[in-house]
Structure 1
Amino acid sequence: MLAEFHQCTPLIPARQSYFARYCKKHTNGTWGVVDVSLESLFPYPQVRFRRRPSGCVIQEVGNRGSEVTWIEHVEVDSRSLHALFRPIVSSGFAFSAKRWIATINRHCQWLTTSMARIAPTTDGVLIPQEGRESLLKLAEKMTKNFFNNINSCSENVWSGLPQNFATQDVRLRYGNILKVPGKPSGNIVIFTTSTQIPVPMEVLFDFLRHERTRNRSSPNKIEILYLQESYTDETGSYIVYASMDIMAMSKILNGGNPKFVSILPSGFSIMPDKAPGQGDGAVGSILTLAFQSVDRLSNKEYMPSSTLKIIDAILSTTIASIKDAMLFGIR
């Protein structure tokens, strides 16, 4: 098997590995799944990551479900890490076994929600079963799009802003060309940066996910219909959102096919700035911001300075607004 392991930022290099997977079911209702690297059979010019025997043990627990024990054992070259992420990556926390368990839990929660017979919204409005399934699939599509767009996988080719701009460590790239019937096509520009904020993850997460406080971090005070998915666990927090056309949302809530809905997700990823118990002082947050926009003035060969200035302004203004709210209590 060939796989890439990555985080929700282009500032952490992806980990690519060839590995073999062996699965076996034991007589006592226990499954074992073990992975081991095969770089000796598929040599790379530079091997920066090896997956030593890793995997999980799955034990049936009556009718209540399963108990999963996960083990991660890797060998990695961490010398080229960005300073902001070095503590959580070099400690093993960023790609830890806890992250696998958290992903499994999220998937199980998604399945439970999708199969629920009755699921009222916070306003007490009942959404039909077909509409709920379509909405969940659209949210899943949006979130996958967001994660695929801003990681450091081999398909994503990132560049940076010139040094004379205010925001540091910005990464940007082109996405696919957006084609909407009746409108001129345009290039999708994806841009992201990360910054450290000395507040706990849960405080920053609650601020950014709530509509009554999130608009404080936006310089444009206009009303827009958004679809948003947010979740948190001990390894990180995510808020992913995208503007929605009212007619498109109406079709989704009535069971429409989410495959035909164009969506450009933006959002936030929050990670602890160090592993729990690592070093002195409280655990703060590393906030990654990522946005998508349609630009009809640039292409893959040329991006005008006006576009670069807009990118810099959006990121710097948003970061300043969030830091003001977090550090000085401007809510």
Structure 2
Amino acid sequence: MEFGSGGGAGSGGDHDASDSQRRKKRYHRHTANQIQKLEGMFKECPHPDEKQRLQLSRELGLAPRQIKFWFQNRRTQMKAQHERADNCALRAENDKIRCENIAIREALKNVICPACGVPPLNEDSYFDEHKLRMENAQLKEELDRVSSIAAKCIGRPISQLPPVQPIHVSSLELSMASFGSHGVGGPSLDLDLLPGTTSSTMPSLPYHPTGLSDMDKSLMTDIAANAMEELLRLLQTNEPLWIKSATDGRDVLNLESYERIFPRATSHLKNPDLRIEASRDSGVVIMNGLALVEMFMDPNKFGELFPTIVSMAKTIEVISSGMLGSQSGSLHLMYKELQVLSPLVQTREFYFLRYCQQIEQGLWAIVDVSYDFPRDNQFTNQCRSHRLPSGCLIQDMPNGYSKVSWVEHVEIEDKAPTHRLYRDLIHSGLAFGAERWLAALQRMCERFACLMVSGTSTRDLEGVIPSPEGKRSMMKLAQRMVNNFCASISTSNGHRWTTLSGMNEVGVRVTIHKSTDPGQPNGVVLSAATTIWLPVSPQNVFNFFKDERTRPQWDVLSNNNAVQEVAHIANGSHPGNCISVLRAFNTSQNNMLMLQESCIDSSGSLVVYSPVDLPSINIAMSGEDPSYIPLLPSGFTISPDGRPEQGDGASTSSCNVHGSGGSLVTVAFQILVSSLPSAKLNLESVNTVNTLIGTTVQQIKAALNCNSS
């Protein structure tokens, strides 16, 4: 490598200095007489031609270029003044119309029908009737669809079938006897008669509001504006609104101060059964503010940004699209489900307004606030969740970084008790709190930054990833694997998985779906998941699963064979955030490799893996589109138990910020039961996957000396 001489560098520096001095321009202030004559000319002719500019130049002693620029600036200034005046007029007109709407609404409450002398049907009655008609139409469509499917299977119209009693599948572990008395016939279950198992069934909302009126949208706009004001105060105010916890230093909301500052926000929250979760955190992420704002306002990208937290995200309606070419002022009515990756924890669902506003150059605020619809109890979740003003403040920093300040503030009414394993983690606010959101955001932003780096992997052991395109293709394949894994564990009712066996006596939930997607093997896919508690720190559990040398101690699918890492792609600054390609020794399946992604942050960690054949790995490493490579991921999720109790005491890692207490570990497997989508499920497969997951749990406990836990 050649370097330039010192003298050349020095001369270049002198040249740059002289250039910068020449580029400096003297600021010229016009005299009062010059401005008066220019203003007089502007009133007569805002667009003077070249001849007129030359005449002014001679009269005022200014260069023609100065005259030209003065008129351009004056026209721009005049245009801005007119726009401000128009905006003020429109705002006043809007306020007037809104007041008229409120007055009309109040007047309608006291209207008496002149014909019969009684109040007319109120607005709620009309919308209730409209809602019932919509639900009735949806039910008829569902009945027609089921009838069509049954007619194809049975060979005659559904109307010719005799009435039958419904089949009640036991919530305990399935057995052949569970179906014998209902005429299902043999140890198999026809998947066509299970709801939600076809791959064409897309995730749907438990309740879909329709027909928002202008009055509804005006009300939503007011709610969002008030929520934005509250969020900014929560983000920018410290004591007495927020106080520091003496145990872990986290920000804790002072509810007395909050109710005093925002009395209207809590006047309807006096239910003694409600539990408040409030948290605040801030940190720096490696992504610019505008890119973050765009991802937050797009539900698909928002879900990709938080795959371990967001089970589902949808935009129901765009109330306002914001300013032209900007998200500032955007207001969306949205739906989302939030999850903890365990079959023991029910998802939380929210219908909410998301409002984005640019506070100033390089500073954005995004607020979420629940918007409740009148709906029947059949649409409510086991855990009622109401989102008080929550969100984040995003401030641009140099070099493409952003400072993100985050507030989570929800009220929870648990209709079912929280499982004992997760009670401390959830009630402490760590499971869904601001710390978890921010930690996940920092980790995913690092991952996106690694995806954009032009270099190949940091430790490509055998030179098998030849190009940056190959690296990006492998990272996209691994990300799809992680998303698929999270969806298979989720307890969301909107996903395509059908629960066959609830949490039985061994604590395993078994779900199933028929897959025809290009990214999964075609056929019947069975998933089993369970969660266990280990008296070992989360960092040490993660190290155990991450180390290929200890893999034979728990991986029953590899028949206790040793594995070797043949390719490695870094996913972030922490060495645990990476993608690996593993090869097993002493096995007859030399054509199969293991794709694995591991990730860790202060809220927990994941180790997800999937068998992939050698030709598919070669396709991804060559940089081709990996969307059609079939994946069937299994793996582990690890999180702190939320209790600052003594565990193994061996962890000093910064990732284990909640102390060296125990760990909550979710173990999940997916297996392909049959390669034929039309096949019937052999119930022996349920027993097989139960045995597989039970054996894995026992081997993990034995390897970590936790057999008594």
Q: TM-score, normalised by structure 2?
A: 0.43
- 8 Å Cα contact 2:525/2:670 also seen in 1: yes
Q: Which residue of 2 aligns with 1:201?
A: 538
Name the SS for the 1:259 alignment partner: coil
For structure 1, which runs of at least 5 residues remain unmatched after alignment?
none
Q: Which residue of 2 aligns with 1:241?
A: 609
* Change in 2 beyond 3 A, CA 1:137/1:253: same
* Change in 2 beyond 3 A, CA 1:228/1:82: same
Larger Rg: 2
Give the CA deviation at 1:306.
2.1
Aligned ranges 1:264-283 → 2 under 5 Å: 264-275=632-643, 277=644, 282-283=660-661
1:98 aligned to 2:431? no
Q: Which residue of 2 aligns with 1:191?
A: 528
- 8 Å Cα contact 2:499/2:510 also seen in 1: yes
**Hey, which of these two has a bigger chunk of helix by percent?**
2
**Hey, which of these two has a bigger chunk of strand by percent?**
1
Name the SS for the 1:84 alignment partner: helix
1:129 aligned to 2:468? yes
Amino acid at match of 1:320: Q
Q: From 532, 554, 574, give the equivalent of 1:217.
A: 554
Name the SS for the 1:169 alignment partner: coil
Give the CA deviation at 1:176.
2.8
Whole-Å Cα distance in 1 between the matches of residues 594 and 486 of structure 2? 18
1:54 aligned to 2:390? yes
Give the CA deviation at 1:216.
1.3
Q: From 454, 457, 472, give the equivalent of 1:120.
A: 457
Identity %: 32
Amino acid at match of 1:169: G
- 8 Å Cα contact 1:178/1:294 also seen in 2: no
1:152 aligned to 2:530? no
* Change in 2 beyond 3 A, CA 1:300/1:26: same
Name the SS for the 1:7 alignment partner: coil
Q: Which residue of 2 aligns with 1:292?
A: 670
Give the CA deviation at 1:29.
2.9
Whole-Å Cα distance in 2 between the matches of residues 297 and 112 of structure 1? 38
Amino acid at match of 2:641: D
Amino acid at match of 1:160: S
Amino acid at match of 1:172: V
Q: Which residue of 1 aligns with 2:357?
A: 24
Q: Which residue of 1 aligns with 2:482?
A: 143
Amino acid at match of 2:630: S
Whole-Å Cα distance in 2 between the matches of residues 149 and 134 of structure 1? 23
1:86-109 Cα distance to aligned partner (Å, 9 max, x none) = 111122111011111122112211
1:259 aligned to 2:598? no
The count of residues paired between Structure 1 and Structure 2 equals 320
* Change in 2 beyond 3 A, CA 1:267/1:255: same
Amino acid at match of 2:597: E
- 8 Å Cα contact 1:179/1:186 also seen in 2: no
Name the SS for the 2:549 alignment partner: helix
Name the SS for the 2:531 alignment partner: strand
* Change in 2 beyond 3 A, CA 1:111/1:280: closer
* Change in 2 beyond 3 A, CA 1:204/1:56: same
Whole-Å Cα distance in 1 between the matches of residues 374 and 635 of structure 2? 37
Q: From 512, 515, 526, give the equivalent of 1:177.
A: 515
For structure 2, which runs of at least 5 residues remain unmatched after alignment?
1-333, 562-583, 585-591, 648-659
Name the SS for the 1:258 alignment partner: coil
Give the CA deviation at 1:119.
2.9
Give the CA deviation at 1:248.
0.8
Give the CA deviation at 1:59.
1.5
Give the CA deviation at 1:296.
2.6
* Change in 2 beyond 3 A, CA 1:51/1:320: same
Name the SS for the 2:421 alignment partner: coil
Return 67-76 or 152-161, whichever deviates more. 152-161
Amino acid at match of 2:478: A
Whole-Å Cα distance in 1 between the matches of residues 626 and 471 of structure 2? 11
